[in-house]
Amino acid sequence: MDTRERCLEADRLDPLARLRTEFVLPAGMIYLDGNSLGVLPRRARARTLEVLDGEWGVGLIRSWNTAGWFEMPARLGDKLGRLLGAGVGEVVVTDTTSLNLFKALAAALRIQQASQPRRRVIVSDRDNFPTDLYMAQGLIDFLQQGYRLRLIDAEHPLEQALDDEVAVVSLSHVNYRTGAMHDMARVTALAHRHGALAIWDLAHSAGAVPIDLTGACADFAVGCTYKYLNGGPGAPAFIWVSPRHQDRFWQPLSGWWGHQAPFAMAPDYQPARGIRRFLCGTQPILSLALVECGLDIALEADIAAVRAKSLALTDLFIRLIEARCAAHPLTLITPREHASRGSHVSYRHPEGYAVMQALIARGVIGDYREPEVLRFGITPLYVGHTDVWDAVETLRDILDTRVWDRPEYFRRSAVT
């Protein structure tokens, strides 16, 4: 049986526990929202001051060369690639996930158009993160060439959606709401068998679950650094292109940073060779420097240990809710099978919004997603077994005492 003592013991034996001290964790708080905004790496303060005072303050314009600013998107991309199963020169850290998805979709459609111009369908998931659908809709409207979006859901599975009209399959590896995870290799192979390219959004998997883009034979991938990678609010995202496509992909946002020779100042756009082509304009150096702080900590951890702990903690969370909150209308919407689960756990509750506000008021930070969904992110680098125990006990108390039923907990903020 699970007890708090056993949780304490498991934390004492946890090989990742030492990494917790690398982060700023406010006292009296259990943070279960690292899948939305990761926590602050302790080393980020010193690095920020170094960039501000030294590289910007003193180095000024010279720092583009002398402090490695110019190379930063690709250098960080190479580091990040180690967490994605990507090779050197295949990833850049740049722009936002939304923008990168636009670029990847445009590039994939262009590749398909060259050899199979009749393919005019983008397949995605009705339950995908909204920006992923919106960016596809925006691109389709912009192109005005009869492209359309075909959405899969429980009644219309991927197997039925694939035919000789499909150009691209664009999916999230881990679903942002339910935490359900696709088998990337299987789905990519299925897309390829039907002549489609596969784009993966790794926003909820990078840094949380083992990823092997090369092994899965994927075509493109994008994702965030401000979630499990602790890069900071609005930190630049990443984009990966398979080496198969590197010199054929077409960048729709053809800015000077993706030019073969940006400082030749030539009047005509000539794309750089390789992944640099996916850059657009001048990069946010301070934010990039912060991305590296979170990334370096993630790289110190063995991803197999991260995954093992993530599954142990999400299992524990599910077991404890079953054992201790059984009297309440909580419905698990996260898959129980390990192979189909990312690193967060979600429940529906009819008063989910108010319950979450009451939890936050008690120092347990998760988040709320429509409809009625309580979401709890498990970030193995800094969350432990005892945190899970204490979070579930707080939730149990809130539900037993109905403290969530207060007017202030029903008031909606702009960001939930």
Residue with Cβ nearer ligand PLP (69 or 176): 176
CB 114, min distance to ligand PLP, A: 27
Which string of x and - marks every residue 124-163 that binds ligand PLP (by CB under 6 A)?
A: -----x-xx-------------------------------
Strands of 119-262, DSSP E: 121-125, 148-152, 166-172, 197-201, 220-223, 238-241
309 is known as an active-site residue: no
Residue appearing with tokens 């630049």: 236
Residues 164 to 183 in contact with ligand PLP, rule: CB under 6 A = 172, 176
Assess 199 for contact with ligand PLP (CB under 6 A): no
Q: What are the two backbone dihedrals, phi and then psi, of residue 365, each rounded to the nearest 5 degrees?
A: -95, 110
CA 7, 10, 12, 15 dihedral sign is negative
219 is known as an active-site residue: no
Interface with ligand PLP (CB under 6 A), residue from 29, 47, 56, 96: 96
Assess 97 for contact with ligand PLP (CB under 6 A): yes
- The radius of gyration of the chain's CA atoms, rounded to the nearest angstrom, is 22
Assess 98 for contact with ligand PLP (CB under 6 A): yes
Which string of x and - marks every residue 245-284 that binds ligand PLP (by CB under 6 A)?
A: ----------------------------------------
Residues 334 to 393 in contact with ligand PLP, rule: CB under 6 A = none
What is the spatial distance between Cα 341 and Cα 335, in angstroms, rounded to a whole number? 6
Residue with Cβ nearer ligand PLP (36 or 386): 36
What is the spatial distance between Cα 35 and Cα 222, in angstroms, rounded to a whole number? 16
Angle at CA 36, nearest 5°, toward 8 and 386?
A: 5
Q: What are the two backbone dihedrals, phi and then psi, of residue 175, each rounded to the nearest 5 degrees?
A: -70, 130
Residues 226 to 245 in contact with ligand PLP, rule: CB under 6 A = 237
Assess 201 for contact with ligand PLP (CB under 6 A): yes
Q: Which amino acid is at 374?
A: L
All residues at 6 or more sequence positions from 225 whose CB lies less than 8 Å from its CB, including other chains:
80, 93, 206, 231, 235, 236, 237, 238, 291, 294, 295
The residues of the shown chain that bind ligand PLP, judged by CB under 6 A, are 96-98, 129, 131-132, 172, 176, 201, 203-204, 224, 237
Q: Which residues are catalytic?
A: 129, 201, 226-227, 375
